[in-house]
Structure 1
Amino acid sequence: MDDDSNQQEAIELLQQLGLKEYEAKCFVALSRRQRGTAKDISETSDVPRTRVYDAIRVLETKGLVETQHSNPQQFRAVTIDEAINTLRSEYVERTESLRSALGGLEPADSAQTTDATHEVWALSGDQGITSRTQQLIEGATDELILVIGHESIFTDQLADQLRAAQERGVNVVVGAVTDDLRTTIRESLPDIEVFVSGLEWIERSPLPSDQTEISRLLLADREAILVSSFTEATGARREHEQGVFGRGFDNGLVAIVRRLMATGLQLEDDPENDD
């Protein structure tokens, strides 16, 4: 990625974190130099000089920029680590405020609701599916069986979550579709049982025209299931990940996956499959 691309990505990410365009451009411009005047910032960021002062004032209020009251005034950005910590704190504060606001809403449907154990819900996109995966892992009290169909799914964050689950007494079993992936997982999680899945359809479909690839299959406490996949045709795999989620011991989807998982584990235990 070249310098222009890095700069543009930084500006876009700062906007996603709540800064306005000129504020993001001014901060990025200051991050590229030790200090600078409003004229320097304007020349580097292409922000009109008259708007630089307004942007700097906001950045200063957020704790992202410091001002030296000389003539002319000099400005400098805080360190990258300090900026990230500041933005993270603000993000957490906003999400907690959102939690409080949403939790305080009166229900629009006054009818009593009960858990529907036979419903299946669709999920889309890596962020939502990863979040649901984390929720299931952190909520498990007895057993977690996870089959990983693609190496991109096994992140440091996922490894930490599985390790934490095991440490609180949950029986964690992880399956991999290949020996190489099993080795990678075992190196990261040496105290967790890892096996090569006997379910060949997870890695590849028996249908020639089917390009779907199972990316993860998670069974939590034998009563909640999450299955996700993407197609080989999509370039950005994780962004186009699709998933289904079901809960309830007698949910048909959960029952089917539970039996498939048991089959995969039995195949792994077969002496003929030993290394």
Structure 2
Amino acid sequence: MTQDNLTNEAVSLLQNLGLQEYEARCFLALTRLPSGTAKEIHEISEVPRTRVYDAIRVLESQGLVEVQHSSPQQFRAVGIDEATRTLRQKYDNRIDTLESYLETVEHRESEPDDDRMQEVWSLTGRDAIESRTFDLLAEADSEIALVVADETFLSDEVYETLHAAIDRDVSVILGGRTEEITSRLGTELPAARVFETNLDFLIGSMTDHEVAISRILLVDRETLLIGSYYPDSEDPTEQAIFASGLENGIVVLLRRLISSGLTAVEDPNP
């Protein structure tokens, strides 16, 4: 990656954290200097010189830049650790404020059980699916059945969340599509029951241009999440469906399919 690409990526990230483009470019220019004048910042950042002072004032107010009142004025960026800590705190504070606002305005009518039984929702993107997976694992009361077809979807946080479930006496049953996945699951989670799945007909061959199942999660035998993706695609964005309810057709089907691969686990709702 070229220096220009690195700079543009850093500018974009800083904008995501709340800085305006000129502020981000001035801050990055100062990280390349022990200290600098408005003229030097302008030359490195390509921010119009008349706008440099405005950007610096904002950065100073946010604790990211220090000012030496000399002639001409000198500016310097705070250290990287201090800057990232300041930005992280600012971001966390915004999330906390947003959460408070959402809790204040949220008002959802309870839905009739008959309507909920037929609901199927979709999710797109690995981050969103991982977040829903962690929520479901954390909320499990009695049993977690997780079938993993692709080892790349087994993160440290997944293992930590499963360990926490085991610690609160939740039964954890883990299926791996390959012997390698099964072996790793058994090593990482010796207290869980681990098996090699017999569901290749469901998961597919994972060949070119074929959709592959990434994960199947069944929590308490009534809440289901199925992830899928194109493993050989240039953009292997994961998608998932999420369903719940003992009488939801998709949940019933997958509960029975998963149970067929768990010969020692008896499905209570045949």
Separation of aligned partners in 2, 1:200 and 1:176: 11
- My pick for the range that moved more, 115-124 or 220-229, is 115-124
Q: Percent of aligned pairs with the same residue?
A: 46
Query: Could you report, residue by residue, the CA deviation over 1:126-177 in whole angstroms, capped at 9, with x for unpaired residues?
Result: 2221221111111112221111222221122222222222223322232222
Separation of aligned partners in 2, 1:71 and 1:174: 68
One-letter amino acid of the counterpart of residue 7, structure 1:
T
Match of 1:265 among 253, 262, 265: 262
- Look up the match of 2:112: 114
| 1:76 counterpart SS class | strand
| 2:105 counterpart SS class | coil
Q: Which runs of 5+ in 2 are unaligned?
A: 266-270
- Look up the match of 1:211: 210
CA 1:104 to 1:180, structure 2 compared with 1: closer, same or farther past 3 Å?
same
Shift of 1:196: 2.4
- My pick for the range that moved more, 113-122 or 6-15, is 113-122
Is 1:256 the equivalent of 2:253? yes
Cα RMSD of the aligned pairs, angstroms, is: 2.6
Shift of 1:224: 0.5
| 2:263 counterpart SS class | helix
- Look up the match of 2:219: 220
- Look up the match of 2:32: 32
Separation of aligned partners in 2, 1:35 and 1:180: 53
- Look up the match of 2:48: 48
TM-score, scaled relative to structure 2: 0.85
Query: Could you report, residue by residue, the CA deviation over 1:58-80 in whole angstroms, capped at 9, with x for unpaired residues?
Result: 22222222233333333232333
- Look up the match of 2:228: 229
Q: Is the 8 A contact 2:209 2:232 kept in 1?
A: no
Query: Could you report, residue by residue, the CA deviation over 1:238-265 in whole angstroms, capped at 9, with x for unpaired residues?
Result: xx21110001122111111111221222
Shift of 1:233: 5.2
Query: Could you report, residue by residue, the CA deviation over 1:189-220 in whole angstroms, capped at 9, with x for unpaired residues?
Result: 444443322211354259x8960011111111
- Look up the match of 1:272: none
Separation of aligned partners in 2, 1:176 and 1:229: 15
Structure 1: which 4+ aligned runs deviate by more than 4 Å?
Answer: none
Query: Could you report, residue by residue, the CA deviation over 1:24-79 in whole angstroms, capped at 9, with x for unpaired residues?
Result: 11222222333322222222211112212211222222222223333333323233
